[in-house]
């Protein structure tokens, strides 16, 4: 197990608009806010969802092309291949209240709105490195150097 502690930094609020891709927009908000390590929560609606289920080294896509409520969406922001990267899992419900979920993939498209709360983690570097055994980019936890004032 790797373990590291951090302090909460700034909290960023953003409202997404119709037709925005959720992962692209979370990543854009994090970059604009200067957040390279943190956690987030999102509620709202989707026009389309694309989720994944990880099996044998790859994600099997689950696609839903219909109006959906975001029941829960949470994730984290880290650095992958020197770029800000958002990793999320999502649960959505259809008009009958049936819930579906998985790893959020690109092409989750906002319906009426999305409401994001992003919390920065200070003094830590969340780096993702490729793990050959699992075929995934996994965290490598490092404390950031102390800032001199």
Question: What was the pLDDT predicted at 147?
Answer: 46
76-90, 112-126, 132-146, range with the lowest pLDDT: 132-146
Handedness of CA 101, 118, 83, 106 (dihedral sign): positive
Q: How far apart are CA 30 and CA 35, in angstroms?
A: 5
- Which residues, listed in sequence order, are joined to residue 60 by a DSSP beta bridge? 53
What's the pLDDT band for 130 if we cut at 50, 70, 90? very high
Q: Which two tokens stand for residue 34?
A: 């200067």
3-7, 63-67, 81-85, 124-128, range with the lowest pLDDT: 3-7
**pTM of the predicted model as reported, rounded to 2 decimal places:** 0.90
What's the pLDDT band for 143 if we cut at 50, 70, 90? low
Q: How far apart are CA 123 and CA 143, in angstroms?
A: 6
What's the pLDDT band for 144 if we cut at 50, 70, 90? low
User: What does the DSSP assignment read for 26-91?
Assistant: HHHHHHHHT-SSEEEEEEEEEEEEEEEEEETTEEEEEEE-S-EEEEEEEEEEEEETTEEEEEEEEE
Q: What is the CA radius of gyration of the chain?
A: 16
Structural domains for the chain: 7-143 (3.30.1330.80)
Question: What was the pLDDT predicted at 75?
Answer: 98
Reported as a single tens digit per residue, the pLDDT across 19-50 is 999 999 999 999 999 999 999 999 999 999 99
Residue 2 clears pLDDT 80, i.e. is over it: no
Q: How far apart are CA 53 and CA 9, in angstroms?
A: 32
């Amino acid at each position: 197990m790797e373990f590291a502690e951090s302090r909460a930094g700034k909290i960023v609020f953003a409202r997404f608009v119709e037709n925005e891709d959720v992962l692209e927009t979370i990543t854009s908000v994090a970059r604009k806010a200067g957040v390279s390590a943190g956690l987030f929560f999102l509620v709202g609606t989707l026009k389309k969802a694309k989720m994944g289920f990880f099996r044998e080294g790859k994600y099997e896509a689950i696609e839903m092309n219909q109006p959906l409520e975001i029941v829960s969406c949470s994730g984290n922001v880290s650095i992958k291949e020197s770029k800000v990267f958002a990793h999320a899992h999502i649960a959505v419900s259809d008009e009958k209240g049936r819930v579906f979920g998985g790893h959020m993939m690109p092409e989750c498209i906002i319906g009426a709105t999305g409401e994001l709360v992003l919390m920065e983690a200070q003094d830590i570097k969340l780096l993702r490195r490729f793990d050959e055994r699992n075929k995934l980019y996994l965290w490598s936890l490092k404390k950031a150097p102390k800032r001199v004032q």
